């Protein structure tokens, strides 16, 4: 799938340390950007730059059309019912914080509960802890099994009359586990509880249909799906968003302002205070069009086959310990080898031109659960190849010989 596509990503042709072709396996942290995305943003800065929703002049109208066109592209990509359910944020983190803060203010009181899981990224833990500081809510945590699945029976038992929301990752950024979000949402809805899905690690790898999933909120980051940094999305069902107070105050989120009283703008602008990163919105829309043209199912099939190959090859290495489910997992493989510290492994692989992530991956509670400090994580994209997986395995063996 990837040979001709790789030329869309100039960075992949780099040689590191004057010697080693770059093998970029840190896609779960951020993906590389195709020329099309960078060029669309350049074109807007060069030829259509003006603040959006403010001017009567030609350029402002053009920039506004691009921004609202981008919103429609996101709507289509997620299969949301309406573009007013698409809020541009700075990324998954801001989207989750928005829900925690705003939903919390509207619907939660001291003693109320949020259900999260043991495999959450810090952004879906700390946001709720901040709300706990503000309101005195409680965090209830779904435990995981040793092979990295949610314990579904424990999940069901966490519900009680104080449960107000479930906030859960779709795909673990460490284990690659694909959570059964449809079941999770159905169970929550049976208890009359809405669900926020953290789609940071699922959106780049599989088709997403928020209506079929029936989630109440869905968050993802542009930079993890071949778009620019600094932009992300919060999808929310209109009926929730309408009842939630604004997250930030400022320009564009108001209808009228006086010193006594302010009335707020309609959705989605109520949640978009200040000048938005409208150029990044264009970049994000271009990235979504790019992957949509490749086909999300095709991307998913290719990456699953590559991940299966990677797990097979990595498993042949002596002392290899791979974390997470053995089957049905996303394109993320976390591992440790013998007694080699993850940081040493990552640093030495880097000297061979191989970019992997090391550490706790912003999931410290999960590390505690696994009884480890951190892992080495290789994460794949459709532009990665089997040759690169082989280079990774050779690199690991080379590092092992140094110890």
Ligand X SMILES: Cc1ncc(COP(=O)(O)O)c(C=O)c1O
Q: Binding residues for ligand X, per CB under 6 A?
A: 91-93, 121, 123, 169, 173, 198, 200-201, 221, 362
Q: Is the CB of 169 or the CB of 384 nearer to ligand X?
A: 169
Q: Is the CB of 276 or the CB of 395 nearer to ligand X?
A: 276
Rg of the chain taking only CA atoms, in angstroms: 22
Rounded Cα distance, 126 and 132, in Å = 9
Rounded Cα distance, 399 and 346, in Å = 10
Q: Is the CB of 159 or the CB of 235 nearer to ligand X?
A: 235
Kindly state the smallest distance separating residue 185's Cβ from ligand X, in Å: 17
Q: Is the CB of 196 or the CB of 244 nearer to ligand X?
A: 196
The residue among 30, 91, 25, 80 whose CA lies nearest residue 387 is 25
**Residue 389: which H helix or E strand, with range?**
helix 386-402
Kindly state the smallest distance separating residue 203's Cβ from ligand X, in Å: 10
210-215: Cβ within 8 A, 24+ apart: 210/78, 210/79, 210/80, 210/235, 211/79, 211/80, 211/81, 212/79, 212/182, 213/181, 213/182, 213/185, 214/182, 214/185, 214/186, 214/189, 215/181, 215/185
Kindly state the smallest distance separating residue 219's Cβ from ligand X, in Å: 8
Q: Which of 182, 215, 362, 393 is catalytic?
A: 362
Spatial contact of 102 and 129, defined as CB atoms under 8 Å apart: no
The β-bridge partners of 320 are: 337
The β-bridge partners of 337 are: 320, 340
Q: 3-state class of 191 per DSSP? A: coil
Q: Is the CB of 201 or the CB of 391 nearer to ligand X?
A: 201
- Whether 362 sits among the annotated catalytic residues: the reply is yes
Rounded Cα distance, 46 and 40, in Å = 10
124-133: Cβ within 8 A, 24+ apart: 124/96, 124/167, 124/168, 124/169, 124/198, 125/365, 127/93, 127/96, 127/97, 127/99, 127/100, 127/101, 128/100, 128/167, 130/97, 130/100, 130/101, 131/100, 131/101, 131/104
Rounded Cα distance, 151 and 179, in Å = 11
Kindly state the smallest distance separating residue 121's Cβ from ligand X, in Å: 4
Kindly state the smallest distance separating residue 197's Cβ from ligand X, in Å: 10
Kindly state the smallest distance separating residue 377's Cβ from ligand X, in Å: 10
Rounded Cα distance, 214 and 237, in Å = 9
Residues that are catalytic: 362
């Amino acid at each position: 799938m990837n040979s001709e596509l790789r030329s869309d990503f100039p960075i992949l042709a780099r040689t590191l340390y004057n010697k080693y072709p770059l093998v970029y396996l840190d896609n779960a942290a951020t993906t590389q950007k195709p020329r099309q995305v960078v060029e669309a943003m350049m074109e807007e800065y060069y030829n259509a730059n003006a603040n959006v929703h403010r001017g009567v002049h030609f350029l402002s109208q053009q920039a506004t059309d691009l921004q609202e066109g981008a919103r429609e592209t996101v709507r289509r990509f997620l299969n949301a019912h309406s573009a007013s359910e698409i809020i541009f944020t700075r990324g998954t983190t801001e989207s989750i914080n928005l829900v925690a803060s705003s939903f919390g203010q509207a619907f939660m009181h001291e003693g109320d509960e949020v259900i999260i899981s043991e495999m959450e990224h810090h952004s879906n833990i700390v946001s709720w802890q901040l709300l706990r500081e503000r309101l005195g809510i409680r965090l209830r945590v779904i435990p995981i099994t040793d092979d990295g699945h949610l314990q579904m029976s424990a999940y069901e038992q966490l519900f009680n009359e104080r449960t107000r929301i479930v906030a859960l990752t779709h795909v673990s950024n460490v284990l690659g586990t694909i959570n059964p979000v449809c079941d999770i949402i159905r169970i929550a809805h049976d208890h009359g509880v809405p669900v926020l899905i953290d789609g940071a690690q699922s959106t780049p790898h599989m088709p997403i249909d928020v209506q079929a999933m029936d989630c109440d909120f869905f968050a993802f980051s542009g930079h993890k799906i071949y778009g620019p940094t600094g932009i992300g999305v919060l999808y929310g069902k209109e009926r929730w968003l309408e009842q939630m107070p604004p997250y930030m105050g400022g320009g564009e989120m108001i209808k009228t302002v006086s010193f006594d009283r302010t009335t707020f703008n309609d959705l989605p602008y109520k949640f978009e205070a200040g000048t938005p990163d409208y150029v990044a919105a264009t970049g994000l829309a271009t990235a979504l069009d790019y992957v949509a043209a490749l086909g999300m199912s095709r991307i998913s099939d290719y990456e699953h086959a590559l991940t299966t190959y990677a797990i097979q090859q990595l498993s042949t290495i002596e002392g290899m310990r791979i974390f997470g489910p053995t089957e049905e997992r996303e394109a993320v493989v976390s591992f440790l080898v013998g007694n080699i510290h993850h940081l040493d492994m990552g640093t030495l692989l880097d000297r061979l031109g191989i970019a992997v992530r090391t550490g706790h991956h912003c999931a410290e509670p999960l590390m505690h659960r696994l009884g480890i400090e951190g892992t080495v994580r290789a994460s794949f994209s459709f532009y990665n190849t089997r040759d690169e997986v082989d280079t990774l395995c050779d690199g690991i063996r080379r590092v092992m010989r140094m110890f």
